[in-house]
Structure 1
Amino acid sequence: MSEEALSNIELLKEIAEFLNNETEQCDMLHGALKKLIDGTSFSTGWIFFIEESGKHQLAAYEDLPESLHYNGCELMHNGGCWCVNRFRKGKLTKASNIIECQRIEKAIEENRGNTNHITHHATVPLQSGEEAYGLLNVAAPHKTHFTKDELALLESVAFQIGSAIKRITLTKKEQEIALLAERNRLARDLHDSVNQLLFSLTLTARGGVEMTSDKQVKETFATVQTLAQVALSEMRALIWQLRPNGLENGLVEAVKGYSDMLGLKLAATVEGVISLSSKVEEVLWRISQEALNNCKKHAGVQTVSYLLKDDGSKIALVIVDKGYGFQYDESQPLPSIGIESMKERVKSLGGTFQLESALERGTTLTVKIPY
C-alpha cells in the first residue's frame, strides 16, 4: 500500500472519530471540513445544503479565497452554478470534476479580490442512503483536474458527513419526542396540583368576602380573590402552551380554543387544503400563541382576524387586530423578546416574518413558511 493511501486511511479514521463524537451539526460540518483541508492538498472547501425546493444555503466553509469571502460570502449565498443545478436535477450522484467554477468566474469579472489561483473545484453529494442533503466542494491553486484517488477520498468523507447529518437529525427528533412527553407530564402535574390549589384559593377568598362584615377584611379577601383568579388564568395559559388541547384536531381548532381561553373572539379563515408537517405546525402554533397573548395584553380588542392560507408552495399566516397598535420601525430592533422569538422560529424554517403596526391603527403579523 502506498504512503498516500495510508495517509488517506488515517485521515478518514480521524474524521470518523470526530464525527462520532460531535452532536451539533454546525460544529460537525466546520470541524470535518477543516480536518479534510488540513489533511490534504486541497486549500479551500465549502458545503452547500440544498432544500427540496432547490434553494441552497452555505452551511460551512474553510479558507475561502478573498474573492469568494467578499461582502459576507455574497457570491456563495446567491445565484446558481453547475454543481447546484446538477444536484437539483438529480444528476449529481458521485464525486465529479468541475470544468470551471461560475462563482469564481463572476468574482474575477467583478474584481472582488484575490482568487488564490483557484479556477476549478471538485464536487460530491452529501447523502445517506436515499437521502441527499447537499454538496461538498473542494479546490486548490492551479488545480484543474482531480485524480480518481482524490475523488474516492471525497466520496468517503462525504458519506461519513452524510451519515453524521442523519444521525444528528434522528437524535434531534428523539429529543423533540422526549421534550413533548416532558411537556405533557409537566402540564398534567400543574393541572392536578397548582391549578387546583389556585382554584381552591379563589373559592376560599370568595367565601371569606361573604362571611365577614368587616369592610377592611372584606377588601383584603376580595384582593386575594382577584389575584388568585389572575394567577389561575395565567396558569391555564401556561398549561395550554405546554400541552395544547385540540392540536390533534388541527392548528386552527387549537388556536380557536386558546383564543376562547383568553377571552378573545377569533375570526378564522382557511384558504386551500392545509396539510402541515409537525415541525411547521408547532412553529405556527407557538407564533399564534404569542400573537394572541400580545393582542390580549396590549391591543385592547375583543376580536382578532386569523387567516391560514396554502398557496401551493408556502403556508401563510396572517393575524390582524384593529387595536391600539404601537410605533414600529422594521429597521430598528424588535420591540420585545416575544416578537424576536417569533421571528427566530420562522427563520429556522426558512420563512419570512413581517410585522406592521402604527399607533391607533392596529397590528398585522404576516408569516410565510415554505413546505
Structure 2
Amino acid sequence: MEPRVQELITLKTIAETLNQSNRLTPMLGTVLEKLLELTELEAGWIFLIDDDQDYECVADYGLPPALMSDNKRPMRCGTCWCMDRYRKGKLKNAVNILNCKRLEDAVENHLGDTHGITHHATVPLRSGNRRIGILNVAAPGKEHFEEEELALLQAVAFQIGSAMERMRLYADEQRRADLFARLGEFSRMLGTSTESESDQLQLAQRVMELIGAHFDWPYAAIIESAHSDFIIRSVFSGTSTRKTCSRLTGPAAEWLEKSVRERRLVAASEIEASGLTSDQQEKVGAMPKLRSAYAVPVPMSGATTYVIVIGGIKAGDLKRMDGDVLEALAEHVAITFESARIEEYHRELARWDERNKLARDLHDSVSQMLFSLSMTAKGTETLLTGNDVESAITAVRDMKSLSQSALKEMRALIMQLRPVGLEAGLVTSLKTYGEKFGLRVIPMSKGIRDIPRSVEEGLWRIGQEALNNVCKHSGVTEAIVELELSETEAVLRVIDHGRGVVEPSPERIRASFGMSTMRERAEALGGKFTITSEYNHGTVVEVVIPL
C-alpha cells in the first residue's frame, strides 16, 4: 500500500475512534492502540500536564517490562528530556528524541527488559494555543523517525488535541449545569433560614454550612467588610465549617478591597489566594494552601457588607463557571440577608404597634378606671369625715366594682402580652384565650399541615384582636373560630351573631385602631383582610394568608 494512502487510512481511523467516546482515558487508550497498529510501532504512552506542570501518564500501550516495574513507577516519577523541553516551551512540533532517559534509568537500576527500545518520537498535544501534554511512540531498534512519520504523528496529535478540547468543553458544560442545579437546592434551603435566623452572623454561618453541603469547592469563607477591615467570620474547609474572627492583611486584604470597591467578581493571584490561609494556620487549625480563589461582594445596604470567597488548592481547581455560580450565589445570599433585615424591621414595627395598642388600651380602660377609683376614694374620705356612713358604704362598693373591672382589664392586657402557647394548636389557643373573657368559643378546623411560625403568630394576633372586639362590641357571649388549611393558603375566620357594625367601610376600618392593626398584620404576611357585617346580624372577620 502506498504511504500516502496509509496515512489517510490512519487519519480516518483515528478520527472515527476519537468521535466514538466522551470519556477521556478510555478514548486515549483506544486511540493509542489504533495508532501503533496502523504505524507498525510497538509502544507508546501519553502524558497530560496541568497548569502547575504536574504530569500524569493517562494512557500507555506495549510498555516494556522495564517501564512496567513497581506499578509503572518509572512512568509516574522523575523527569526526562522531552518533559523538560515541554516545560520550557521548547517542544513545538513532533521531534526525534535521541534516547529515552526513563529507559536509561530503568536499565541502570536493573528494573527489567527494555525489549530493545532505546529511542522514541515525541509529539506535543495542544488545542490552539492551549498546551495539553505529550505523545510518545517507539519501536525496538528504531532510533530515527522520518519527516513523513513525524508529520503523520503531528496530524494525529492535532486530532487528539481537538477531541480533548471538545471533551473539555462538554465536561465544562456538564459541570456548569450541575453547579446551577446545586445552586437551586442551596437557595431553597437558604430561604428557609430566615424563618429561624435573623442575626447576620448566624446567617453567615448557615451560608457556609450550606455551601459545604451543596458544592465541592475545597475552600469557602464569608468575610465581613467594614471600614476597609476584613474579618473572616465563617470558613468551610475539607469537610467542616467553623466560626472564626481572623483579620486579613496584606495582598489578600488588598484583593478583597478591590472586589468591594468595584462591586464585582475578582480572581486572585497565587500570592493573594495563599494569604487567605497562610495567616490562619495557628488560629483555625490545618488549612490548605490555596493556589486560586474568587471573591464577590454580597450587595447590601449600609456600611457593613460581606464578601464570599471560594478557593482551589490547585491552579486549575476553579474555572470561570465557578465564578459565574458564585456571583449568582451572592445575589441569593443578599436577598436572604435583606429578607432577614426586613423581617426584623417588621418585628420591631409589630412591637411598636403592641406598645401603642397597650398604651391606648391602658388609657381607655385601666387608666380611666383607676382615675375614677381615685376620685371615689377621695369622696369617700369626705363622707367619712362628715359621718355619712351609708353614702360612704355605697362609695366603697363602687370602689370595689371599679377595682375588679380594672383587674379584669389588666389581666386581659397581660394575656395579650403573654399569650397561651401555640403548642396546642392555633384554634385551641384562641378558644382558651376567648374563654378567659367569658366567651364560649366554638372551634372548627379543616385540613392539616405545618405552617410557618411567623404565619401562625400573625393569625394568633389577628384572632386575638377579633375575639376582643366580640367581647367588647358584639353584645353576645359566643363566637366561632374557623381555620381552613390547604396546600396554598391558610384562612382564619372569627364569626359572631351580635349587633354588627353599622358601616364596615374601608374608611371606618382605617379609623379603627384594632381593625387597622389586623389589616396591617395580614398584609405584612402577603395576605388579605376582610370584614363583613350586617347590623343586628353579626360580623365575620376573615384573613387569607398565602402559604
The answer, yes or no, to whether TM exceeds 0.5 is yes
Residue correspondence of structure 1 range 127-146 to structure 2 within 5 A: 127-146=126-145
Distance in structure 2 (CA, Å) of the matches to 1:43 and 1:263: 52
- When structure 1 is superposed on structure 2, of 4-13 and 56-65 the one drifting more is 4-13
Q: What is the match of residue 187 of structure 2?
A: 188
Distance in structure 2 (CA, Å) of the matches to 1:111 and 1:22: 39
Q: What is the match of residue 157 of structure 1?
A: 156
| Contact 1:267 1:304 (C-alpha < 8 Å) held by counterparts | no
Q: What is the match of residue 108 of structure 1?
A: 107
| Contact 2:233 2:245 (C-alpha < 8 Å) held by counterparts | no
Q: Give % identity.
A: 36
Distance in structure 1 (CA, Å) of the matches to 2:115 and 2:167: 34
- How far did 1:78 drift? 1.9
Q: What is the match of residue 357 of structure 1?
A: none
Residue identity in the other structure for 2:94: A
Residue identity in the other structure for 2:180: A
Residue identity in the other structure for 1:123: T
Q: Secondary structure at the residue paired with 1:183?
A: helix
- How far did 1:185 drift? 1.7
- How far did 1:272 drift? 5.7
- How far did 1:305 drift? 4.8
CA deviation vs aligned residue, 1:216-236 (integer Å, no higher than 9, x gap): xxxxxxxxxxxxxxxxxx997
Residue correspondence of structure 1 range 278-297 to structure 2 within 5 A: none
Structure 1 length-normalised TM? 0.59
CA deviation vs aligned residue, 1:306-364 (integer Å, no higher than 9, x gap): 76766xxx579xxxxxxxxxxxxxxxxxxxxxxxxxxxx969979xxxxxxxxxxxxxx
| Contact 2:66 2:106 (C-alpha < 8 Å) held by counterparts | yes
Distance 1:61 1:111, change over 3 A: same
Residue correspondence of structure 1 range 95-244 to structure 2 within 5 A: 95-191=94-190, 239-241=210-212
- Relative contact order (C-alpha < 8 Å, sep 6+): which is higher? 1
Q: What is the match of residue 268 of structure 1?
A: 246
- How far did 1:268 drift? 3.1
Distance in structure 2 (CA, Å) of the matches to 1:252 and 1:236: 8
| Contact 2:208 2:222 (C-alpha < 8 Å) held by counterparts | no
Distance in structure 2 (CA, Å) of the matches to 1:20 and 1:145: 31
Q: What is the match of residue 78 of structure 1?
A: 77
| Contact 1:98 1:120 (C-alpha < 8 Å) held by counterparts | yes
Distance 1:117 1:242, change over 3 A: same
Distance 1:65 1:256, change over 3 A: same
Residue identity in the other structure for 2:9: E
- How far did 1:150 drift? 1.3
Q: Secondary structure at the residue paired with 2:124?
A: strand
Residue correspondence of structure 1 range 242-257 to structure 2 within 5 A: 251-253=221-223, 256=232
Distance in structure 2 (CA, Å) of the matches to 1:115 and 1:190: 59
Backbone CA RMSD of aligned residues: 4.1
Structure 2 length-normalised TM? 0.41
| Contact 2:57 2:75 (C-alpha < 8 Å) held by counterparts | yes
CA deviation vs aligned residue, 1:190-214 (integer Å, no higher than 9, x gap): 455x768xx59x9xxxxxxxxxxxx
- How far did 1:101 drift? 1.0
Residue identity in the other structure for 1:109: E
Say how many residue pairs are matched. 260
Distance 1:253 1:26, change over 3 A: farther
Distance 1:273 1:72, change over 3 A: farther
Distance in structure 2 (CA, Å) of the matches to 1:277 and 1:171: 24
- How far did 1:16 drift? 1.1
Q: Which runs of 5+ in 2 are unaligned?
A: 198-204, 225-230, 256-265, 278-282, 294-311, 318-547
CA deviation vs aligned residue, 1:59-106 (integer Å, no higher than 9, x gap): 211110001111122222222221111111111111111111111111
